[in-house]
Amino acid sequence: MPGKVAIVAVAQNAGAESKDNFYDQAYVVTKEVLDKVGLTREDLGTIVSASSDIYHGGISCANSYYWETTGAFLKNASRQDGESLFAFFYGVMRILTGHYDTALIISLCKGSENPENDACTLMYTDPFYTRGIGLQETMAAAFQMRLYMERYGISEEQCAKVAVKNLQNALGNPYAHKKGRYTIDDILNSERIIDPLTAMQVAPKSEGIVAVLLASEEKARELTDKPVWFKGYGSSLDSFYLGDRDLLDGQLKNAAERAYKMAGISNPRKEIDLAEITEPYAFQELLWCEDLGFCDTGKGGEFIDSGVTQKDGDLPVNPSGGVLANNPYVSRGLQRIVEATLQLRGEAGERQVNKEVKTALAHGTHGFAGQCHAVAIIGS
């Protein structure tokens, strides 16, 4: 790696619904993250935001709208679409070139001003062949879940366990939208949305304006005593048509392998202390754990049964409650970075895990059955 980049501060405004308008919400989070390290807007080097027009309350060219409220007036800023971990990586790159010593990464998605998530994901389809049949992300996930259960004998109960765990973890997270103590039966008996998915195994539509402040090594040491270092990143995109893909052999393996290579990780199960994963559908946490190399292929069910991924387990997965608890579509990847950072710094409050966390993984995915994945590794 050509140099080091650190996360020096994080902030978020997330949850079910905020009474603040988008503009103010963005300003508050931007100000908060800068204030945390005593940086002014004038000091700030560059800004990379993440947002998507389809998830932007009916305003196109999303970053036109929030430009100045995210501190970007007369600055060199840019924007990534769809996945906020893209913006995180772009910010890292901008610092590594030496052009900037600080970068604000901010992701903006105000769920309460958007239609239902799947009204938006329907627009990913091509207008000729798949839109007419109503294919959307939840339907694609249902296909994937069915295949997962049939090919590897994963049970519905094992999938539901993810929701039980994550919604319980969310009790400790003040930014969580959904939270509570539920049984496997509660999860399985909730409304069947698209078979085999039940309502409580599907992430809600939430708000999330999430910010991460990055700095070069030298600047980071000046700004904070607790820098969290960027260690590795990888992403990968899959083919478009579901029929062209094996839904259980996707691109997360590729993305993870790239991130591990950059971070010098050879045994992720041992070397990663905590993972924050994007699991908009409960079973996906099991599948993604396999693809991330935390357990063997087809063993995601046994993996959750073993208790390893519980908050007090050996490799806690989504101690924040994950995306099942809070799902601001575009922002969720960066929110995983924020949660992982808080854990690494010992600042996660009630959701802080009991073990020592030195290396953490943040994962983001968007698209049908995980068409695109991004993985970031950060460490203390």
Partner 1 sequence: MGRPVAIIGVGQTNHGRRMDVCYPDLVREAVVRLYEETGLNPDDIDGVVSGTMPSMMEGVALTHFYFADAMKAAGKPILKTETCGSTGVSIAHTAYYWISSGMADLILAVGHEKMNEGDSQATMTTVAEPFYQRYFIAGAPGVFSMQSQMWSVRYGLEEEKVRDAAAFISVTHHDSAFDNPYAHIKIRVSMEDVKTARVITYPVRLLDVCPNSDGACAVLFASDTMVKKLGLNKVAWVKGVGYRGEEYYFGDSDKAVWQSAVGAAQQAYNMAGIKDPRKELDVAEVYNPFTFQEMMFYECFGFCGLGEAPDLVLKGTFARDGELPCDPSGGTLCTNPIGATGLIRTAEAALQVMGKAGDHQIPGAKTALSHAMGGVDQFNGIMIVGSEL
User: Which of 6, 26, 77, 203 forms a contact with partner 1 (CB under 8 A)?
Assistant: 77
For residues 155 and 239, which CB has a smaller minimum distance to partner 1 in the complex? Answer: 239
> Binding residues for partner 1, how many (CB under 8 A)?
63
Is residue 81 close enough to count as binding partner 1 by CB under 8 A? Answer: yes
- Give the amino acid at 118: D
Distance (Å, whole) CA 288 – CA 312: 20
Least separation, in Å, of the C-beta of 200 and partner 1?
Answer: 26
For residues 57 and 196, which CB has a smaller minimum distance to partner 1 in the complex? Answer: 57
Whole-angstrom CA distances from 227 to 29, 218, 342 are 20, 11, 11
User: What one-character DSSP code corresponds to residue 232?
Assistant: E
Distance (Å, whole) CA 16 – CA 28: 17
Distance (Å, whole) CA 55 – CA 52: 5
Is residue 366 close enough to count as binding partner 1 by CB under 8 A? Answer: yes
Is residue 185 close enough to count as binding partner 1 by CB under 8 A? Answer: no
The answer to whether 336 and 318 have CB atoms below 8 angstroms apart is no
119 Cβ contact partners less than 8 Å away, ≥ 6 residues apart: 136
Is residue 74 close enough to count as binding partner 1 by CB under 8 A? Answer: yes
User: Which of 19, 40, 42, 128 forms a contact with partner 1 (CB under 8 A)?
Assistant: 128
Is residue 54 close enough to count as binding partner 1 by CB under 8 A? Answer: yes
Least separation, in Å, of the C-beta of 66 and partner 1?
Answer: 8
Residue of 30, 370, 20, 349 whose CA lies nearest to 212? 30
Is residue 199 close enough to count as binding partner 1 by CB under 8 A? Answer: no
- Give the amino acid at 272: I
Is residue 120 close enough to count as binding partner 1 by CB under 8 A? Answer: yes
User: Which of 18, 84, 90, 187 forms a contact with partner 1 (CB under 8 A)?
Assistant: 90
Residue of 372, 30, 2, 4 whose CA lies nearest to 217? 4
User: Which of 27, 39, 44, 66 forms a contact with partner 1 (CB under 8 A)?
Assistant: 66
Is residue 371 close enough to count as binding partner 1 by CB under 8 A? Answer: yes
Least separation, in Å, of the C-beta of 234 and partner 1?
Answer: 7
For residues 359 and 371, which CB has a smaller minimum distance to partner 1 in the complex? Answer: 371
Distance (Å, whole) CA 345 – CA 352: 10
Least separation, in Å, of the C-beta of 69 and partner 1?
Answer: 8
Pairing of strands 46-50, 77-80: parallel
| Longest pairwise C-alpha distance within the chain | 57
The answer to whether 233 and 92 have CB atoms below 8 angstroms apart is yes
Is residue 86 close enough to count as binding partner 1 by CB under 8 A? Answer: yes
Least separation, in Å, of the C-beta of 143 and partner 1?
Answer: 16
Is residue 20 close enough to count as binding partner 1 by CB under 8 A? Answer: no
What is the 3-state composition of the chain as percent helix, strand, coil, each rounded to the nearest 5? 40, 20, 40
Is residue 61 close enough to count as binding partner 1 by CB under 8 A? Answer: yes
Which tokens hold the place of 56? 């932007």
Is residue 119 close enough to count as binding partner 1 by CB under 8 A? Answer: no
Length of the chain: 380
For residues 239 and 266, which CB has a smaller minimum distance to partner 1 in the complex? Answer: 239
Of 218-237, which residues contact partner 1 (CB under 8 A)?
Answer: 234-237
Is residue 98 close enough to count as binding partner 1 by CB under 8 A? Answer: yes
User: Which of 40, 60, 267, 354 forms a contact with partner 1 (CB under 8 A)?
Assistant: 60
Least separation, in Å, of the C-beta of 24 and partner 1?
Answer: 14
User: Which of 37, 96, 171, 188 forms a contact with partner 1 (CB under 8 A)?
Assistant: 96
Is residue 243 close enough to count as binding partner 1 by CB under 8 A? Answer: no
Least separation, in Å, of the C-beta of 135 and partner 1?
Answer: 12
Q: Which residues of 162-190 are buried (b: 16+ CB within 10 A; e: fewer)?
A: bbbbbbbbbebbebbbbbeebebebbbeb
The answer to whether 359 and 231 have CB atoms below 8 angstroms apart is yes
Q: List contacts with partner 1 (CB under 8 A).
A: 1-2, 52-54, 58-68, 72-83, 86, 89-90, 92-94, 96-99, 120, 123-128, 234-241, 244, 251, 254-255, 258, 366-368, 371-372
